Amino acid sequence: MNRRTIWTLPLLFVTLCTATLHAQAKLAIYGTVGGEKTEINHESWTIAGTFGFYYGIAKFGPINVAIDARGDLSDNINSGLFGPRVALKLPLVPLKPYVEVLGGFSSYNQQNNGAKNTTDANYRWVGGIDTTILPHLDWRIADYSYSGGGISQGNRTVHPQTLSTGLVIRF
């Protein structure tokens, strides 16, 4: 097999799966790429990514309630977070804003790009906007998170922030 075939087969599989699924998706997986400002060691914005899934548990008209689990990865910090997600499907425009409050753990390093040597409990406020581009494929236009719990570094507390964009596949 050549490289083109190796990259095309998973894309074809996902396309076929999403085209035959029921319209009311309860489960979704997502991945984003963007930047994270950890402020650890006074570092500015670095490349970061987020991956995760959410599962819908209730629907109240245009409001969807779900449980979200995500992992955030960057050079200086890795986080595993879990919590509720509330999304609103706007009636006249194809936008779906959402908010989340997630809790979990963050591992980070005290030196730039070193091994993750400290783990703390953490929580994050998350907000974003999705829009549907295909029947079971959404574009996550923006996903912003702010670590309200903060991370202790020496005699100061830093509050990592992420801003990213990506894709959501709804099943």
Which residue ranges make up each domain of the chain?
3-170
Rounded to 5 degrees, what are φ and ψ at 30?
Answer: -145, 160
Q: CA–CA separation, 115 vs 130, rounded Å? A: 34
Alpha-carbon Rg of the chain, whole angstroms?
18
- Model's pTM, two decimal places? 0.79
Q: Specify the 3-state DSSP secondary structure of 147.
A: strand
Give residue-wise pLDDT tens across range 108-143: 776 655 566 778 888 999 999 999 999 999 999 999
**Separation of alpha carbons 25 and 165, rounded Å:** 21
44's CB contacts (< 8 A; 6+ apart) are 37
Closest CA to 99 of 91, 87, 89: 87
CATH number attached to the domain at 3-170: 2.40.160.20
Task: Tell me the pLDDT band of 20, cut-offs 50, 70 and 90.
Answer: very low
Burial of 83 (0-12, 13-18, 19+ CB in 10 A): middle
